[in-house]
Amino acid sequence: MQKPLDGVTIVDHPLVQHKLSIIRDRETSTGSFRQLLREVSVLLCYEVTRDLPLEPVEIETPVAHTIGKTLSGKKLTFAPILRAGAGMLDGMLELVPSARVAHIGLYREPKTLKAVEYYFKAPSDIAERLVIVIDPMLATGHTAVAALDRLKETGVTRLRFVCLLAAPEGIEVVRSHHPDVPIWTAAVDERLNAHAYIVPGLGDCGDRLYGTK
């Protein structure tokens, strides 16, 4: 049982934990890794959207008139941080097909580990939407903070962050820079190593997703 962390929801559903264990295994093939990450993303999406507001809607069923519930407000935006975030996008879109997408291209400068932006394309009315930032690995937190900074610069006020694995160091950095942004993750691992990889982690998520090692 992990200690509760302020603003962090650990999605401990048995299916998520089972799939995560296979994802972590170094022997898991690129194809299985990609498929499992997509499957876990569907389940994480279910949790991160659990408290979305609803409003009443009138419906004519084939039998009777009734009042149902529908999501209220503007459609969601998913904001995957490239490139590993793209590995979670399709699973999340499977659950919310009408969501908009904001792509954020950031890479970690290898020496300083600081985030450098190379791409940003978002819906023009993104400021009015709830934005769910997606990155499988919350490691140092620098990339996550840069993405959240960038989205807030465009006027976004309602943000959530979803990842597969988080390091305590990354959580601390994100929560201290953006205390208003709650985090969902399948697990909080032990620590970062000297190369800023999550331990025990799963290795380089982008490389494992796309077979680039």
Contact set with ligand URA (CB under 6 A): 84, 137, 139, 197-198, 201, 204-206
- Looking at beta carbons only, is 106 or 137 nearer to ligand URA? 137
Compute the distance between CA of residue 203 and CA of residue 164 in angstroms, rounded to an integer.
13
For 132, the 3-state DSSP assignment is: strand
Q: What share of the chain is helix, strand, coil (3-state, %, to 5)?
A: 35, 30, 40
- Looking at beta carbons only, is 8 or 167 nearer to ligand URA? 167
CA angle 149, 186, 155 (to 5 degrees): 20
- Looking at beta carbons only, is 19 or 129 nearer to ligand URA? 19
- Looking at beta carbons only, is 29 or 157 nearer to ligand URA? 29
Closest CA to 184 of 117, 120, 116, 138: 138
Closest CA to 165 of 77, 52, 87: 87
Nearest approach, Cβ of residue 205 and ligand URA (Å):
4
For 87, the 3-state DSSP assignment is: helix
Compute the distance between CA of residue 183 and CA of residue 160 in angstroms, rounded to an integer.
6
Could you list the active site residues?
A: 108, 112, 204, 207
- Looking at beta carbons only, is 134 or 139 nearer to ligand URA? 139
Compute the distance between CA of residue 171 and CA of residue 159 in angstroms, rounded to an integer.
15
H helices of 85-167, where? 86-95, 142-153
For 16, the 3-state DSSP assignment is: helix
Question: What letter would DSSP give residue 163?
Answer: -
